[in-house]
Amino acid sequence: MALRLLLVTIAIMALASSFANASDPSPLQDFCVAFDDPKDALFVNGKFCKNPNDVNANDFFFRGLNKPGDTNNPLGSKVSAVNVANLTGLNTLGISLARIDFAPYGLNPPHTHPRATEVLTLLEGTLYVGFVLSNPPPGMKNKLFTKTLYAGDVFVFPQGLIHFQFNIGHSNAIAFAGLSSQNPGVITIANAVFGSDPPINPDVLTKAFQVDNKVIEYLQSQFWYNNNNN
């Protein structure tokens, strides 16, 4: 009886720790190509695994990142992400990537990836990039780190921190970014705060941003363009 209780306790603790682990897990097999149909499939961390006998090279393949994203939009930038949503072979592997195109003065606006660190390589153009640290001790300000990047430069944006990339050159810019999650997620600050559906109560934002409520009404009435493909 005591042994059974011990085993049940261990099982519950194992389950609890797996729920509490928010990072992408280390793979327990060579691959686990994501599969939408649960029939005859194994369930692992939110996505079903395709039967390995049915897996082929195309499950690990994506074509098209040679094509520039359409930057003809209010931000002048476009993120073309390749993650588990459009490359199912990434399932459980803890990695993904994105191509980011910038028109002259195009901006990838302040945003965070809740589940990934980003390492960015600039192929063409000139970018002013930066990230802001999380809240410091009372009385101190959130520290900003910035850098001007030229072709061939690499910059890291640590997981979860607010960051941006701004094309300060007179020509287009092209960057590629690796992200340490199969599904990094993106929270674009302005879109989430001022463009939510339904809107956040303006009293909340008026107090939070310490401005006149007309400023908040104006911001909430704007169209907040989403420059991510998914």
Nearer to Mn ion, 92 or 108 (CB): 108
Count of residues of this chain found to bind Mn ion when the rule CB under 5 A is applied:
1
Nearer to Mn ion, 33 or 116 (CB): 116
How far, in Å, are 36, 52, 106, 121, 193 from residue 180 at the CA level?
23, 24, 25, 15, 25
Shortest Å, Cβ 105 to Mn ion = 19
Shortest Å, Cβ 216 to Mn ion = 26
Nearer to Mn ion, 60 or 145 (CB): 145
- Provide the 8-state DSSP code for 162: E
Rounded distance, CA 134 to CA 8, Å?
A: 39
Binding mask 91-120 for Mn ion (x = CB under 5 A): ---------------------------x--
Shortest Å, Cβ 204 to Mn ion = 26
The residue whose Cβ lies closest to Mn ion is: 118
Contact call for residues 122 and 151 (beta carbons, < 8 A) = yes
Contact call for residues 92 and 42 (beta carbons, < 8 A) = no
Rounded distance, CA 155 to CA 132, Å?
A: 14
Nearer to Mn ion, 127 or 205 (CB): 127
Contact residues toward Mn ion (CB under 5 A) are: 118
